[in-house]
Structure 1
Amino acid sequence: MSLTGLPRELRDAIYIYYVTEEDGYHYDLSSGKLRTSTNERIDTLSLMHVCKGIASEMRGVHFVNNTVHFSTTPLPTDRGSSRARHHGYLLEDLYTAKRLVLPWVRQYISNDIAQRVIDRFPKSEALLRHLMSTKRRICQGFEQLGKSGDWGQAPSFHRDTIDELLNLVAQTPAVGELTRKVLERQGFRFRHEQNVASLYQLHPIAWRLPNKQESKIVEDQSPIGPHNPWRERVRDRTRYYISAASQAADFLSKLQQQHRVHIRSVDLHETHAAISYPECHARALIPFAIENPKLKIIRYADLWGGVLTSLQSARFEEHRSDPGQGVGPMRTMYAWELTKTIAPWLMEAMALHPAGMPAKCFTLVFKGEPELMQPILDIVIEDAAWQDALQTKSDRQEQPPVPDRSGTGYKRHSCYQFEGFPGLMRDVIAGNGSIQFNNCSAQGWDIEELFEANPGCSDTADWNEAWQSMRLQAVVPPAPQTWDAILSDYVQEKDDA
């Protein structure tokens, strides 16, 4: 009996068995194609070529029954010039330049401009009102303009807010010359006859895979930052990584809709620190999740290798760029930096659903060995408890607080992480929500016990000082791992002695 002569139910079972790969499909960046877990070509679709009837019955079966995996991958050296490989730094320099200009252009923020920005980014209202009602020297004096958590926004939405605001303000002719003066005082340079205001027309998308042409446009229209020949030399010898999420978005955008709507499961493996604000790259997948309600996305972030290393890898590059320090030990990470390094990932994951990600479609999972994970989660939960207590302390404070010019009140304190942080961690502890820490256990906290344990803290400033004192210890990976071993993955070739 031929295959077509079998009952449909039996044929379907054969199709599923035939196409299913034990470890699913794995994306290969160099070829732009899906392969098996052993990097072999997928041959299971050849059955579809037997006849049109079987091809019709098998349509989409392979995607329905195989998880599609994407993993952080080194940026290929043939993807354009060395500046293309430094695309992430171009974006960071561009954002830095815009943020430096922001306090100086506040006089050009009209009520109409402010309302247009607020309509698009509702959580930006406090920031806009602060800029419009505060003197420039005060705005300059407080770095909170760059701290998205203080203003209730995820970092990428905070950057988008500043980007949109400056784009509207730059329509005033005087802003171009003002921009030149401000940035030149900060050590930036502009090319001959460069249209300074053109930098406000740049809206690079962080998760888009960089290519030579796009990077050149950003480079040509951006101001030139202070030159450091040692840093450029080191960057040419640094291995940069592309996030799994950005690769997934690129692959799905090139896959025809009639095929991608059959995908049911996508696993993103963020094993290394990647370029261009990788914590926000899952935003690129929102349109595909809306298009395909049955799609389930799990983003696995290696807590040490992919998240905490984002801070240390940047320091590692700076360390290698300094001829006076590159031969000595590198500065370590401290406990007060842990939650602040993890926080952008938490904030971006929280922002996905309000931005359009369907409910229960996306999950962020921090992963690692139990002995590596548990100490970090304990600190994160303790920080959530201290922020919860800080907020309660502010509400209970009998004396009027010291006049605050930052615009953020008690949120300016370093023990404040971001809006909604305590509630988020309660959900994590309860096993609710879209964020998980693998191989960990956790318990809640009691604010009153914290207050009793710190009787000398009479106001929010005391509370913040106590938290800072508690977080001065150094943090290193448990043996046999070391920072040197982890960071060796980011060296393209051995540095000269």
Structure 2
Amino acid sequence: MEIPPVSGDNGDSSKPGFRVLPREIRDEIYGYYFTLEDGYTFNSKTKKLHPTCKLKNSLALTLANKQINQETQGLALERNTLHFATSFALETSDTLGMFDYLLKYISTTQSRLLLRLIAKSNWVACQAYAHVEKHYPRFLPIVNHARDGNYDDLSADNKCWKETPSIARAFVQETLHSVVGHEKFPKLPARDLGPSMEHFTVANAHFEAWRVPTKDEVENLAFRTHQIPSAEALSARAPVHPDSDDFDRIKFWNGEKHRSSAASLAIQFIQSLEETSRVKIRSVVLNEDQISVAWPESHGRGFIPICQENPQIRIKRRVNLWGNATMDPQQANVCTPDSLVTNVSPSG
């Protein structure tokens, strides 16, 4: 094919140019240029995507001129698979460990609080029944059981309810919020609230399990639910005896390996992009090769708004059966908060 000449800045029209090619041909060339073998891999330290095949600069063409830059916007995301993997970093391990513990403590406490309120207050029982009947009808037997005064027969651990755990947690949180947030709730007599009044700060505590929290966010959550100061504030108190209450509090900030799931890292990265870039993504692969924190099996729910915004995105989640799915958290050297709940949970 003969390439027509293009005029340069000096009026010389004898030199052929890439920009005079038909747009369809230029797009084909762009496609070959930006498509990389194995796509891009997310680096959790730099918070950026890097070519999996270690190319020095796979986006150099975008710097050629303004026209090419505009024509190639988002092509690297559209033409390549984005890979994310479970990540461990020593500097964030303690924060993730505390986050994992707090979420599970909040979930158990919220379940216990909701069941207590339903059992003690007829108004709460009616309010909860109306909300559950509309939004979570499959949980009506649990509400009715607590309403009949059989609170002690129900476990606060929603895993025992024989329902999908993430749905059970959503049922508890939303139902509790509909009760505690009602304008009539503060006017209830104290006898209808029972000994749970001191735990109402936990009732409104909510943090998406697939979020990658900052240290400040976790410390704020710890203060709201346990009145626990920061690790730095505690370490400044000297000496800290191993049998002291302060030692029990800071043991959640231990040095065991706590990891972020590939799903949570992918959600955080994609949400950090501009909408024009997010909708260009076509393929994401999540490699969950290690146990991670905060109910990682539920982290896929965080992709719901992403898929609604970008229906063309395709997400594959790969789980390592030996290193993740069939591994006991204790064997994987990951903190197990369930064994610590008895230290701080309210008396039942």
TM-score using structure 1 length? 0.54
**Contact 1:27–1:34, Cα closer than 8 Å, also in 2:** yes
Q: Distance in 2 between matches of 1:202 and 1:145?
A: 17
**Contact 1:177–1:196, Cα closer than 8 Å, also in 2:** no
Structure 1 pair 316–245 and aligned structure 2 pair: CA distance change class (3 A): closer
**Contact 1:176–1:197, Cα closer than 8 Å, also in 2:** no
Q: Deviations over 1:337-364 (max 9, x none)?
A: xxxxxxxxxxxxxxxxxxxxxxxxxxxx
Report 1:248-259 matches (<5 A).
248-259=266-277
Other structure's SS at 1:21 match: coil
For structure 2, the 5+ residue unaligned runs are 1-15, 229-243, 341-348
**Contact 1:148–1:158, Cα closer than 8 Å, also in 2:** no
**Contact 1:84–1:216, Cα closer than 8 Å, also in 2:** no
**Equivalent position to 1:206, from 206, 209, 214:** 209
- Tell me the CA shift for residue 178 of structure 1: 1.8
- Tell me the CA shift for residue 33 of structure 1: 0.8
Choose 1 or 2 for highest CA Rg. 2
What amino acid is aligned across from residue 14 of structure 1 in structure 2?
A: I
Other structure's SS at 1:267 match: strand
Structure 1 pair 114–265 and aligned structure 2 pair: CA distance change class (3 A): same
**Contact 1:77–1:85, Cα closer than 8 Å, also in 2:** no
Q: Distance in 2 between matches of 1:61 and 1:281?
A: 27
- Is structure 2 residue 282 aligned with structure 1 residue 264? yes
Match of 1:24 in 2: 39
Match of 1:58 in 2: 72
**Equivalent position to 1:178, from 195, 212, 219:** 195
- Is structure 2 residue 327 aligned with structure 1 residue 309? yes
**Equivalent position to 1:244, from 262, 268, 275:** 262
Report 1:236-385 matches (<5 A).
236-313=254-331, 317=335
What amino acid is aligned across from residue 135 of structure 2 in structure 1?
A: R
Structure 1 pair 198–232 and aligned structure 2 pair: CA distance change class (3 A): closer
Q: Distance in 2 between matches of 1:77 and 1:87?
A: 14
Structure 1 pair 229–269 and aligned structure 2 pair: CA distance change class (3 A): same
**Equivalent position to 1:77, from 75, 91, 94:** 91
**Contact 2:85–2:289, Cα closer than 8 Å, also in 1:** yes
Match of 2:81 in 1: 67
Structure 1 pair 294–148 and aligned structure 2 pair: CA distance change class (3 A): farther
Structure 1 pair 228–57 and aligned structure 2 pair: CA distance change class (3 A): same
Structure 1 pair 24–252 and aligned structure 2 pair: CA distance change class (3 A): same
Other structure's SS at 1:300 match: strand
- Tell me the CA shift for residue 227 of structure 1: 6.3
- Is structure 2 residue 138 aligned with structure 1 residue 126? no
**Contact 2:81–2:282, Cα closer than 8 Å, also in 1:** yes
- Tell me the CA shift for residue 315 of structure 1: 8.1
**Contact 2:117–2:193, Cα closer than 8 Å, also in 1:** no
Structure 1 pair 308–270 and aligned structure 2 pair: CA distance change class (3 A): same
Report 1:455-494 matches (<5 A).
none
Q: Distance in 2 between matches of 1:227 and 1:206?
A: 28
What amino acid is aligned across from residue 124 of structure 1 in structure 2?
A: F
Report 1:84-99 matches (<5 A).
85-99=97-111
Structure 1 pair 103–271 and aligned structure 2 pair: CA distance change class (3 A): same
Q: Deviations over 1:234-283 (max 9, x none)?
A: 86120110011111111111100101101100111111111111111111
**Contact 1:148–1:154, Cα closer than 8 Å, also in 2:** no
Other structure's SS at 2:111 match: helix
**Equivalent position to 2:61, from 47, 67, 73:** 47
Residue identity (%): 28
Structure 1 pair 5–149 and aligned structure 2 pair: CA distance change class (3 A): farther
**Equivalent position to 1:154, from 160, 164, 171:** 164
- Tell me the CA shift for residue 52 of structure 1: 2.8
CA RMSD of aligned residues (A): 3.1
What amino acid is aligned across from residue 2 of structure 1 in structure 2?
A: G
Q: Distance in 2 between matches of 1:311 and 1:32?
A: 27
Q: Distance in 1 between matches of 2:137 and 2:62?
A: 50
TM-score using structure 2 length? 0.75
Identify which of structures 1 and 2 has the higher relative contact order when contacts are C-alpha pairs closer than 8 Å and 6+ apart: 2
- Tell me the CA shift for residue 233 of structure 1: 4.8
- Tell me the CA shift for residue 111 of structure 1: 2.0
**Contact 1:268–1:298, Cα closer than 8 Å, also in 2:** yes
Structure 1 pair 263–246 and aligned structure 2 pair: CA distance change class (3 A): same
- Tell me the CA shift for residue 230 of structure 1: 7.8
Structure 1 pair 83–20 and aligned structure 2 pair: CA distance change class (3 A): closer
Other structure's SS at 2:217 match: helix
For structure 1, the 5+ residue unaligned runs are 181-194, 323-497
**Contact 2:112–2:156, Cα closer than 8 Å, also in 1:** no
Other structure's SS at 1:202 match: coil
Report 1:417-436 matches (<5 A).
none
Q: Distance in 2 between matches of 1:158 and 1:32?
A: 33
- Tell me the CA shift for residue 20 of structure 1: 1.4
- Tell me the CA shift for residue 228 of structure 1: 9.7
